[in-house]
Chains A and B, each alone.
Chain A
Amino acid sequence: MPLPKLKKVRDVYLDHAATTYVIPAVAKAMAPYIETNYANPSSLYRLGRINNGAINDARRTIAQGLGTMPDTIVFTAGGTESDNLAIFGVAKANADRGKHIVSIGIEHHAVLHSLRELKKDGYEITFVPVDGEGIVKVEDIVAAIRPDTILITVMFANNEVGTIEPIADIGRAILKYRQTNKTIYPYFHSDACQAAGYLDLDVEKLHVDLLTINGGKIYGPKGVGALYIRRGVKIRPMIWGGGQERAMRSGTENISGIVGFAKAFELAQTSREKEWKRVLEIAKYLWERVQKEIPKVRLNGPPFGVNRLPNNVNITFMDVEGEAMLLYLDEYGIMASTGSACTSTSLEPSHVITGMGLPYEYAHGSMRFTFGKRNTKADVDYLMKVFPEIVRVLREISPVVLEEGKKHAKIHQR
């Protein structure tokens, strides 16, 4: 098929919500702890003490960014582990108090599958529905609270469609609930992995008891994260051993990872407002051009603005399947992702798109582009050189013709 031939094919990374590269400043901060300062931070000799100090510094940096004290920060091996620790740790430690947890259906799998696992142990989970943009209503969360509710977990920003949830409002409402009912439950956890690059994570303003953050989404190393645990929260460790991280997470510390993560977090937080403006321009530019140049498209998630991560563009291209689009884009060096069932191991379409009440056909043709530090409008220009033609070609070989309706897409036979 006659697809555009490009003089120069280059790599264009538009998948920053999947993970980010490590930026030079972070790599530089990590370097000494890989080859030179290799000692176990628990060791008493000088090299061990140096590393212990480095971890303390990193902890202080993270704590400062979250507006809290260092002793509330536990380093883990990433966002997934932090989510697991928050959920299983609280569930196990408070089972005598209740076995009910409230969440939303568009959470990350790290949360969803942990909750599913808890169900097998007799916990009850209430998933509060979100609206067509993926936003949950504060009142709906409060209404779902029962006397035996021990935990509420709601993500700060959604990884697929960029929806920003009203975490501070939910936090305040939970606080009020606790005061009126004279209880310390339910605890409030939020996964802020996607939010860390763009939003204020002050835990006092957010009124969260537990907060998940990680390095791999904010230009830091992968496989390292942290869980903020408010003082006094009853929680049990999930990993046992030498008693590191005040016994909350045993195992020799990933020293270079932790140092890099802290550096990345610091940089992400100081540059977040500037970065917000910069990537938002690029994201809007892409959406404008797509609307102009490709028919039958739909922006999934909230409109650009306060309720949406500025770097996220999630578009459904009707009648085309996402994996096919990805494979074509890959030929041009363009990296993005899709919510199509065909790419997921379970062959289920994106639970986020369907969770917002959209039919699964919308998930099938959904493409996510997430911008980051190294992107400019030139990357959008590059993408748009080939993308309209790719969609056209795939539509030509597709027998499906969807009619965009309010709730349900109609399939027309061609």
Chain B
Amino acid sequence: MPTKTKSKIKITNKKVVQKKNLKEEVDVRTPDGGGWLYSDIVKDHFFNPRNFMQYGEEEKFKFNGIGRVGSPACGDEMVLWVQIDPKTEKISQCRWRTFGCGSAIASTSALSEMIVENSGMKIDEALKLKPQNILERLGGLPNRKVHCSVLGDKALQSAINDFFRNTAQHSRVQTAGAKVIDKELNVTDHDIEEAVLEGAQNLEDLQHKLKVGVFNKEVIPQLEDLLRFYNEKYYG
């Protein structure tokens, strides 16, 4: 029988492989310390971030939309500047700054690349971008880092909204359709989505994450439904 293994040392393939199945846990650490916590694409974006706003560039960079979002999750924050051509409605340029971990920085960088490549993405398309698209682009993120990629599409939405306001197209402003679930505690479906992204799996986690007291009994089934829904959506 011919032996397949030529050498005991496995040479890790340096080529960047897109992950097909995002449901798989992405953690490429290997016992030889060769792998990395994140995929090669994430690593590349992290060490070579694209399109970020450099020192001293703020004054020069022309933009007509700015979005600033923060996540209560771990305190990460992001600002996105976009330049949209009003005629073609394509995003011609963008800049960003992010305060956060490796995957937050990489997510923003990847997003910035996606929206300006191929002579720019149309804003209608851009508004359809989902965190999943960023995840795909990055080759996935470890489960507990999924929430870092969510900030990007939120910042993009708010930057485009800003553009709509700046160009007096108020009817086109997307109102975030937050629905209040628990009136007393003012907990919305968005809050639940956020909590799930931060790892909440049950009511107890939810309570802890949102720092609220006991939920109203009548809304508990609804809360549980949403918990299940978002958990399935992101980790399912």
Residues of A whose CB lies within 8 Å of any CB of B are 1, 319-321, 323-324, 327-328, 331, 340-343, 345-347, 349, 360-361, 364, 396-400, 413-414
Contact = CB atoms under 8 A, between A and B. Distances in A.
Nearest to A326: B102
A349 B74 contact: yes
A324 B144 contact: no
Given A1-B48, A342-B74, A321 B79 contact: no
Given A324-B101, A347-B144, A400 B55 contact: no
A361 B77 CA distance: 11
Contact of A349 (B75, B98, B104): B75
A397 B198 CA distance: 23
A395 to B, nearest CB: 9
B47 A400 contact: no
Nearest to B100: A321
Contacts of B105: 324, 397
B101 A321 contact: yes
A413 B199 CA distance: 29
B78 interface: yes
- Residue from the set B75, B97, B102 with the largest chain A CB neighbour count within 10 Å: B75
A399 B74 contact: no
Given A347-B144, A399-B77, A340 B101 contact: yes
B99 interface: yes
A398 B199 contact: no
Contacts of B98: 397-399
Contacts of B75: 341, 349, 360-361, 364
Contact of B102 (A324, A349, A400, A414): A324
Interface of B: 37, 46-49, 52-55, 58, 68, 73-79, 96-102, 104-105, 144, 147-148, 198-199
B101 A399 contact: no
Contacts of A331: 47
B101 A323 contact: yes
A399 B49 contact: no
Contacts of B47: 1, 328, 331
A331 B36 CA distance: 11
Contacts of A321: 76, 99-101, 104
- Residue from the set A345, A346, A413 with the largest chain B CB neighbour count within 10 Å: A346
B58 A340 contact: no
A37 to B, nearest CB: 30
Contact of A347 (B37, B49, B73): B73
B102 A327 contact: yes
13 contacts: A1-B47, A1-B49, A321-B76, A327-B37, A328-B47, A341-B74, A342-B74, A342-B76, A346-B199, A397-B52, A399-B77, A399-B97, A413-B68
A226 to B, nearest CB: 31
Contacts of B49: 1, 397
A414 B54 CA distance: 12
A347 B79 contact: no
A343 B96 CA distance: 23
B199 A342 contact: no
A414 B101 contact: no
A364 B68 CA distance: 19
Contacts of B54: 396
Contacts of A349: 74-75
Nearest to B48: A1
Nearest to A342: B101
B74 A397 contact: no
Task: For the complex of A and B, list the 3 residue pairs with the smallest distance between their C-beta atoms, beginning with the closest.
Answer: A342-B101, A341-B74, A399-B97
A383 B58 CA distance: 31
B100 A347 contact: no
Given A327-B46, A342-B100, 7 more contacts: A324-B100, A327-B102, A342-B76, A397-B53, A397-B96, A397-B97, A398-B99
Contacts of B37: 327
Contacts of A399: 68, 77-79, 97-99
A324 to B, nearest CB: 6
Contacts of A347: 73-74, 144, 147, 198-199
A403 B46 CA distance: 26
Contacts of B53: 397
Nearest to B209: A347
Contacts of B198: 347
A321 B105 CA distance: 10
Contacts of B104: 321, 342
Contacts of A1: 47-49
A324 B38 CA distance: 12
Contacts of A398: 97-99
Contact of A345 (B78, B79, B144): B144
A323 B98 CA distance: 13
Contacts of B99: 319-321, 364, 398-400
A183 B77 CA distance: 54
Given A321-B76, A321-B100, A396 B52 contact: yes
Contacts of A364: 74-75, 99
Contacts of A340: 74, 101
A320 B99 CA distance: 7
Contacts of B100: 321, 324, 342
